[in-house]
Amino acid sequence: MAESHDMLTRRTLVTGLGLAAAGCSQAPTDRPAPASTAERFTWRMVTTWPPNFPGLGTGANTLARYLEAISGGRLSVQVYAAGELIPAFEVFDAVSSGAAELGHGGAYYWRGKSEAVQFFSTVPFGLNTHEMNAWLYYGGGMELWREVYAPFNLIPFAAGNSGVQMGGWFNRPIERVEDLRGLRMRVQGLGGEVLRRAGGTPVALPGAELFTALQTGSIDATEWVGPYNDVAFGLHRAARFYYYPGWHEPGPTMECMVNRDAYERLPADLRAALGVACQAANLDMTAEFNARNAGALEQLREDPDVEIRAFPEAVLAELRSLTREAIEDLAARDTLAAKVWASYHSFLAQSRPWQLVSERAQTRASAL
């Protein structure tokens, strides 16, 4: 008899458990783990995403499914979309307090808690997806992330990446730097600060509100993710001009945050299972976005009401300059952010020469 998909998933993930656990970096707590038991745990995961939203919301569902499969049902997770249990932007506090054991979102949503958190999601013109994973798993990034979250009773894990994003949807062309002045745009994290310095107004909105805000004119532009997710929200019906590249989010990591007290109650094998499941979900989301964005982009190219445009180089040059200025100012006023930035920037400087002769060179050379 053929094995079921769940049985195959469990066998595949469990086989890699011992090897992959080492790649989750050092144990995030010094408290001894309880011995393995048959005890069952039922956890709640609150997310910042709309219900079953492609890629992001379903990525949280995938993580929950992996956890249950690896644990043989000993760790089951009920996933709550934004608004089902709490609003999207209250996920951090809910998991920190123990109202939920798990949260799924993007670290830059919590800049009000600590500005250093932004480096663990994405930095304008910074590390791409491959580089982010390399920094987190092998460059000291994960240890710093756990240091930043420790005062909040949280343990973070990388649990997804959308890949480089698009620059966003605009209701008017962006042809000069001056066109950014007065622009009200939904944009998160450091990208929002850069827009502010360019004369625009960054607006924080959860994904579910973007279409209405753009259609009614309460914002002039919005970034979200890329073609796959943007088509799912219907953003191409609310604005005409679709810009690239996504200078503000070159490799955005999604997170699974875990309440530390809940984590420390798990036996050792389930702690390891959690780390492996997050890595598996991280890989799965990256693959899904790479696969789906291409088809959605083709759909948009064929839409006569959509114009896909590249940002002018003069605009990108100014945004790069403002990014350096914003990060330098942040590091000067926040010692923890300065510590994280030093690690991030050092890894970026080391990584880029390799990227130029590997990924980028191969992309330019490929013409099959």
Read off the tokens for 306: 């959509």
Residue 5 lies in a domain: no
Query: Does 137 lie in the same domain as 195?
Result: no
What is the bridge-based pairing of β-strands 102-105 and 41-47? parallel
Residue 126, pLDDT above cutoff 90: yes
192 and 103 within one domain:
no
- Full-model pTM: 0.89
Averaged over 267-292, what is the pLDDT?
A: 97
Q: What's the confidence (pLDDT) of residue 363? A: 87
Q: Please indicate, yes or no, whether residues 123 and 174 belong to a single structural domain of this protein.
A: no
Domain contains 29 = no
Instruction: Find the CATH number of the domain harbouring 183.
Output: 3.40.190.10
Same domain for 222 and 267: no
Q: 307 with 345, same domain?
A: yes
The count of C-alpha atoms lying within 13 angstroms of the C-alpha of 110, restricted to the half-sphere facing its C-beta, is 29
pLDDT single digits (tens) 59-91: 999 999 999 999 999 999 999 999 999 999 999
Same domain, 154 and 181: no
d(CA 152, CA 200): 32
Quick: pLDDT tens for 171-210.
Answer: 999 999 999 999 999 999 999 999 999 999 999 999 999 9
The CATH number that applies at residue 44 is 3.40.190.170
Helix, strand or coil for residue 176?
coil
Q: Which tokens is 179 given?
A: 């066109």
- Secondary structure (3-state) at 222: strand
The pLDDT assigned to 35 comes to 62
Q: Are residues 107 and 244 in the same domain?
A: no
Total number of domains in the chain: 2
Query: Within a domain: residue 6?
Result: no
Question: 164: which 2 tokens?
Answer: 């480089």
Token pair of 113 as six digits: 């808690």
Per-residue pLDDT of 302-357, as tens digits, reads 999 999 999 999 999 999 999 999 999 999 999 999 999 999 999 999 999 999 99
Q: Cα separation of 207 and 106, whole Å? A: 12
Distance CA 45, CA 58 (A): 13
Mean pLDDT across the chain: 92
The pLDDT, as a whole number, for residue 27 is 54
Structural domain of 333: 168-249+303-357
Q: Residue 11: its pLDDT value, please?
A: 45
Torsion of the alpha carbons at 164, 103, 326 and 333, rounded to the nearest 10: -150
